[in-house]
Structures are given as C-alpha cells and as structure tokens.
Amino acid sequence: MKIGIIGLGHLHPRSYMPHFQALAAEVVAVAEKDAGLRAAFCTDFKLQGFADVDEMLKSVKFDVAAIFLPHVDCPAAAAKCAARGIHLMVEKPMAASAAGAAEILKSAQQAGVKLTTGYAWRLHPVAGEFKRLIQTGVIGDVVGGEGRCAAGRLTRYIEGHSPWILQKALSGGGPMYNLGVHWIDLFRWMLEDEVAEVSGRNVKVNTQYDVEDNSFAHLKFTKGTVVALDISYTVPDSFPYGRDLYLSVRGTKGVISWAPAFEGQRDTLFVCIDKPEQKEYELPPTPGYCGIMGRTYIKAFLDAVTQNTPLPITGEDGVAALQVVEAIYKADKEKRWVTL
C-alpha cells in the first residue's frame, strides 16, 4: 500500500510513521504549505514534498490519503482524493462540523472508497474486554457512566506546530471537539447504543484564544444510561503520562472502571461485583501514536482496503460523534437539554 500524507501541522503525522513502516505501508509523499515543516519531514523520512494537495495528486500515485489538516479543510481535501479513487484516513473529528463530516462521508460513498477516522481506542484490548463485560451482563443493566479526558495544556498545540486547533473557525471548538469525541465514540461503541439527548457547559479560562479550556456534558442514551463527561485542556504537566484519562460504568449489579495508561505498558481493568476482580494487561511496547491500539487501528483499515474486511471505525461513526458535540454546544448556549 502506498500512503500520501496531507498536512503536517498536527501532533500526529510523525507518530503515525512507525506504524506505516511496521506494516509495510510505503509513505510516498507529503503535502504541506509550511515550507519549514515540509522540508524537515521530507528530510527525516526521505520523501517527496509538495506545497499543496493538487500538486501532489498530479505528481504521485498512492492508495490511501492520511489527512491531518485543520478540521475545516478536511472535507475539500478528502473530496479531491476520493474523486481519484484514493481511500481515506481522516484524522478525528474529520471536520469542523457534523455537516463537514457528512460531506466527507458522501464523497467516499459516491467514489466507492473506504473511509475511516482515528477513534483508535476501540482497538485497545482493554476496551474490548470492557465492552464484552457490559454486553454479557456481568454488572447487570448499565445505568450510568463517567469519562474524563484531559490531555495536556493548550501550549502543547503551539509547541506541536498546530495552533489552529485553538482557533474555533479552523477547529470547530475546544476540547470536546478535539478530545471528547474519543469518549463519545467509545461509549457509543461499548454500550451499543446512541445518544438521545444532552446537556452541557463550557468553561473558558484562557484569554488568548476563542476556544474554551474545559467542557462538561451529560449524555442520555436511548436505553436510559446517563454518562457524565469531563473534557479538558487544563491537566498539569506533572500528571502521570501528562494525561488524566478515566472511564467507568455503573450497573445494577456492579461497576467497571479503567484509568488508561495511554502509551504505557500496563493497564488495569477493575470489575467490582459481589467478588471484586482486577485484571492486569501487559501491553507490548509499540512505537507510534497510541501504541498497540494505533498499530491495530491502521492495520485493520489497510486490511479493509486490501481484503474488504469490515472497517474498524466508519465515516458514519465520525458524523455521529460530531452530532453529539454540536448538541452539547447548543445545550450550553441555550441552557437546556437538547434532543438529537
């Protein structure tokens, strides 16, 4: 498989490279308007570089486009690639709006190409066990849940050459758009249910940017489960792994909780029923974004392209997550519960 990377002003393109290399997916070219970023990446990985997508599409043939552009620019780039029969890996949340994500989905469907987005947490082995325990009724009927996702401070986007994430016009919004979508998608997947209505509040601390630092929401699913989300850009650098990550669900018979180590090698899933149980997971050291789950995610997508196996995460999943986010923002603005 030949890969073309579109956009380098993002935290993830470099950390995807070990996965592509390990999976024998050849990155053949990159498109990036920033000459400095483009030159450094091309030098480090010995690649052809182009100033824009159109130039790269005219000059190089590739099978998959890995798109890491500002969210608002993803739909147009995806449409150009899909029209040439190129499959799409569009970094989450795919677009700056649910309508933008739906445009990408339509482009992929019309062109008959595969489309996925980076909700790699579904591919984490602990997440798979978490879902299995829920669906087999170990803790009874699930009535509530909690998710925290605080991944570093605002400054990491400045240092990571992606300040556009802090501009609402380019990113769509703050941490709920950029981070909360991970947990929205994961709860949808683990519960096998859809969000029916939401409430939300955004809290802005910084004075330099027009996005909030913290976002809080309650999601009520169609089967009655209520999930509380706490999504933030304000975790201290001293926090373990630089992130505060946590998921739990409460059922009529017990509780399951997990504080992911992210790229650490040991994860603990705690199951508290009549007899508490704790499962330890030793994950193999895996260089690259999100470690083993990132590697598994990319492999599953490449397999879907070459062998027509099921997609691990679909374009529809990307649209659904952003619909929930937009409802949360509407709930904050109108100070009421919003029905999807």
pLDDT digits (tens, 9 = 90+) for 49-90: 999 999 999 999 999 999 999 999 999 999 999 999 999 999
Taking residues 153-160, report their average pLDDT. 90
Q: Residue 217: its pLDDT value, please?
A: 98
Q: Which residues have CB under 8 Å from 216's CB, separation 6+?
A: 200, 201, 202, 203, 228, 229, 230, 231
Q: Residue 274: its pLDDT value, please?
A: 82
**Residue ending a domain, choose from 69, 90, 117:** 117
**Residue ending a domain, choose from 88, 117, 146:** 117
Compute the Cα dihedral for 301, 16, 58, 54 and give only its sign: positive
Instruction: Please report whether residue 265 resides in a domain.
Output: yes
Alpha carbon separation from 222 to 12, 148, 188, 191, 225 (Å, rounded): 34, 22, 11, 10, 7
Q: How far apart are CA 118 and CA 190, in angstroms?
A: 16
Q: Residue 266: its pLDDT value, please?
A: 80
Whole domain around residue 26: which residue ranges? 2-117
* Per-residue confidence band for 235, with pLDDT thresholds at 50, 70 and 90: confident
Instruction: Please report whether residue 91 resides in a domain.
Output: yes
Instruction: Please report whether residue 51 resides in a domain.
Output: yes
Q: Which residues have CB under 8 Å from 163's CB, separation 6+?
A: 157
Q: Could you give the number of structural domains in the chain?
A: 2
Instruction: Collapse the DSSP code of 70 into the 3-class scheme (helix H, G, I; strand E, B; otherwise coil) and give the result.
Output: coil
Q: Please report which residue ranges of the chain form alpha helices under DSSP H.
A: 13-22, 35-45, 53-59, 74-83, 98-111, 125-135, 155-159, 168-171, 175, 181-191, 291-307, 315-334
Query: Among 129, 100, 140, which residue's Cα sits nearest to residue 117?
Result: 100
pLDDT digits (tens, 9 = 90+) for 108-155: 999 999 999 999 999 999 999 999 999 999 999 999 999 999 988 888
Instruction: Please report whether residue 297 resides in a domain.
Output: no
Whichever domain contains 152, its CATH number is 3.30.360.10
Q: Residue 285: its pLDDT value, please?
A: 83
Q: Residue 281: its pLDDT value, please?
A: 83
Give me the percent of the chain exceeding a pLDDT of 90. Answer: 87
Alpha carbon separation from 103 to 54, 82, 175, 217, 246 (Å, rounded): 19, 11, 23, 26, 32
pLDDT digits (tens, 9 = 90+) for 293-331: 999 999 999 999 999 999 999 999 999 999 999 999 999
**Same structural domain for residues 146 and 35?**
no
Q: Which residues have CB under 8 Å from 281's CB, separation 6+?
A: 125, 126, 266, 267, 268, 269
Instruction: Please report whether residue 211 resides in a domain.
Output: yes
- Please say if the pLDDT value at position 264 is more than 80: no
**Same structural domain for residues 12 and 134?**
no
Taking residues 157-180, report their average pLDDT. 96
Calculate the average pLDDT of the chain.
Answer: 95
Instruction: Please report whether residue 301 resides in a domain.
Output: no
Q: Are 256 and 283 in contact (CB under 8 A)?
A: no
**Residue ending a domain, choose from 117, 145, 171:** 117
**Same structural domain for residues 279 and 130?**
yes
**Same structural domain for residues 9 and 111?**
yes
**Same structural domain for residues 150 and 222?**
yes
**Same structural domain for residues 143 and 172?**
yes
